Structure 1
């Protein structure tokens, strides 16, 4: 797990939700911003992988943004935002194992054909004969 917190920038704004008068005057909402292409912590291949997996979250300027408004304190929201963006990027770097095509065994094929034959006979016996 790579820690690229030095490359993150933060922007605060007024948050909606619980807090009463506090909401109207204190900027508790935190948006964490990270420029994927200018990162020094990741090589080009990793940057490509991040850009591909998170393409829906990266804007046209190449910025990955995440906004957190859960807590009533700016510090807590900043901590949550940092954890989330680290988790998001590190998850996007995981390459899934390629699926190996498998073939059913002879026993499985024989069992399936046998079941088909039994079902066919059962239905044939239900037919009305004159």
Structure 2
């Protein structure tokens, strides 16, 4: 059981792990051991996720999410399989926890009259500076 929050726990049967050969350092032994871990979690069909969390996860433009709604996370940071398994599970929990909080709605605002005035005054000042530059060049 993978505990995400007090209200969300994911059963081990929902997680599909695959072990791969990792690239990187490790000497001769690296060619024989499958220390990298690929974790697949079916976001679309998971009974453990509330509907709003599922919708937020699927709405993300995450390249790790397949078109079938499966989240694929790989871990190959460490040389041994157990640490990579822990790492990939922690990363899955972080992704789901990120979707627990609803994003704040943006409140549309208008610039104040004073800020518009300051902007226009600044534009006039910059324009005058540029006008004086162009006159200097025309005399020569």
TM category, shorter: 0.7 to 0.9
Which structure 2 segments of 5+ residues have no match?
none
Supply the RMSD in Å over aligned alpha carbons: 2.6
Distance in 1 of aligned mates of 2:20 and 2:129 = 71
Alignment of 1:87-106 (within 5 A): 87-106=94-113
- Measured against aligned partners, the alpha-carbon deviations of 1:68-118 in whole angstroms (never above 9, x if no partner) come to 111111000000010111112222343321221222223222323333444
CA distance in structure 2 between the aligned counterparts of 1:111 and 1:59, rounded to whole angstroms? 49
TM-superposed CA distance for 1:55, in Å, is 5.1
Aligned length: 129
Q: Which has the higher contact order (CA 8 A, sep 6+)?
A: 1
Q: Residue 111 of structure 2: SS of its match in structure 1?
A: coil
Deviation at 1:31, TM superposition (A): 0.8
Q: Which moved more, 1:15-24 or 1:102-111?
A: 102-111
Unpaired stretches in structure 1, ≥5 consecutive residues: none
> Could you say what secondary structure the match of 2:82 adopts?
helix
SS in 2 for 1:33: strand
| Displacement after TM superposition at 1:124 (Å) | 5.5
The answer to whether the aligner puts 1:62 opposite 2:69 as a matched pair is yes
Give TM-score, length-normalised by structure 1: 0.78
**C-alpha distance in 1 between matches for 2:89 and 2:109:** 42
**Against the structure 1 CA distance between its residues 113 and 80, is the aligned structure 2 distance closer, same or farther, given a 3 Å change threshold?**
same
- Provide the rounded CA distance (Å) in 2 between the counterparts of 1:72 and 1:122: 63
Find out whether 1:4 has 2:10 as its counterpart.
Answer: yes
Does 1:32 find its partner at 2:39? yes
